[in-house]
Amino acid sequence: MQKIGLFYGSDSGNTESIAKKIADVLGDVDIFDVAKTEKSKLLEYKNLILATPTYGNGDMQGDWEEFLETLKPEDFSGKVIALVGLGDQDTYGDTFCDGLLPLYELSHKEGKIIGFTKTNGYEYEETKVVVDGEFIGLMLDEDNQEELSEQRIKEWIDNIKGQFE
């Protein structure tokens, strides 16, 4: 398996913390904050993990919004991509993890998305990040279900580890 590039955006530090936990469990992962990273760095990796929190009413994290403007679907051609979204099911239950949707929409056209997860065990009202009855990646709620994050990360990594090239 080739090395994985994990790219995240974070304002409060939750997504950065989750990115480090994922890297610790997976091993052989390079971590990049998109606020301090050039597009060329993302292009160096065949295996990607993209992580973003959702703010407000389904908004993508600001650094990711800027970084996303530099990317095209072709940038994900031949890449294997796993997605991680953070959200708040209680306060923003009607837009839970919707900030991840733009990353999915841009990357899935040319890249191979892995790591879909079941929606059971979550208490949101609505979300746009469900495709064919499953989340488009790992969804975490550090505000209301922090005690479940470690187990969810482990199970997700067990699922995706063999799918990277």
pLDDT in tens, 50-108: 999 999 889 999 999 999 999 999 999 999 999 999 999 999 999 999 999 999 999 99
pLDDT score at 128: 97
The boundaries of the domain holding residue 20 are: 4-163
Tokens of 30: 């390079």
What whole-number percentage of the chain has pLDDT above 90? Answer: 96
Is residue 1 pLDDT above 80, yes or no? Answer: no
pLDDT score at 28: 87
User: DSSP alpha helices (H): ranges in 54-145?
Assistant: 62-68, 101-107
Helix H or strand E encompassing 159:
helix 146-160
Separation between Cα atoms, residue 148 and residue 102, nearest integer Å: 25
pTM of the model: 0.97
- Name 52's bridge partners: 85
pLDDT score at 56: 86
Q: For residue 64, which of 73, 74, 56, 55 has the smallest C-alpha distance?
A: 55
Residue 132 sits in a domain of what CATH number? Answer: 3.40.50.360
4-19 residue pLDDT tens = 999 999 998 999 999 9
**DSSP secondary structure code for residue 70 in this structure:** T
Report helix, strand or coil for 22: helix
Domain count, the chain: 1
What whole-number percentage of the chain has pLDDT above 70? Answer: 100
122-164 residue pLDDT tens = 999 999 999 999 999 999 999 999 999 999 999 999 999 999 9
